[in-house]
Amino acid sequence: MEEVVHAHGHEHVAAEHASTFELTSDDYLTPAGDCILGIEADRTPADFDREFVTACQSHDATIVATVEAAGHTETVEGRGHPDLVFENERSLVGRTSDYVDDRTVMVGADAAAADLDRALVAALAEGADLTLTLRVE
């Protein structure tokens, strides 16, 4: 079961955050947004299918995020959590920690923005189109 989100890079994509990665539906990005990989996301957690959300609400769920842009692909693996609500209408966040809020789509991620391939980050900083596929197993 999966959800797909399309977004765009931006000149301020730095991907330097050590514990999160984020996509936002906002149409702008300031240099302070060092976890943000893409803007103008066409979907947010509030849009996700309820069956997908329910599947993610288990400690046993494995959630895989695949980020694709300009011929580069990165995969981040995390897990579900009973407190995941997928209600945010603005952004989604993958976290290396166990912190959960309405933006969180995975916890215990094995990578954050700072861990992503720098060629992928450079492409996003040049405005490349981004596809994020979230798969729950």
Domain boundaries, the chain: 2-136
Q: Give the span between the Cα atoms of 102 and 104, in whole angstroms.
A: 6
Phi-psi region of 109 (alpha: psi -120 to 50; beta: other; left: phi over 0): beta
pLDDT < 50 regions, the chain: none
Q: Of 2, 24, 8, nearest to 103 (Cα)? A: 24
Record: fold of 2-136: Jelly Rolls (2.60.120)
pLDDT attached to residue 39 = 98
| Pairing between β-strand 129-136 and β-strand 62-69 as defined by DSSP bridges | antiparallel
- Whether the model pTM is above 0.95: yes
Share of the chain above pLDDT 70, in %: 100
Q: Of 4, 43, 19, 11, nearest to 127 (Cα)? A: 11
pLDDT attached to residue 90 = 98
What one-letter code names the amino acid at 71? G
pLDDT attached to residue 131 = 98
Q: Transcribe 87-134 into DSSP letters.
A: --SSEEEEESSS---TTEEEBS-S--GGGS-HHHHHHHHTT-EEEEEE
Q: Give the span between the Cα atoms of 53 and 49, in whole angstroms.
A: 6
Q: Of 2, 111, 16, 15, nearest to 69 (Cα)? A: 15
> What pLDDT digit, counting tens, does each position of 112-130 carry?
999 999 999 999 999 999 9
Rg of the chain over Cα atoms, rounded to whole angstroms, equals 13
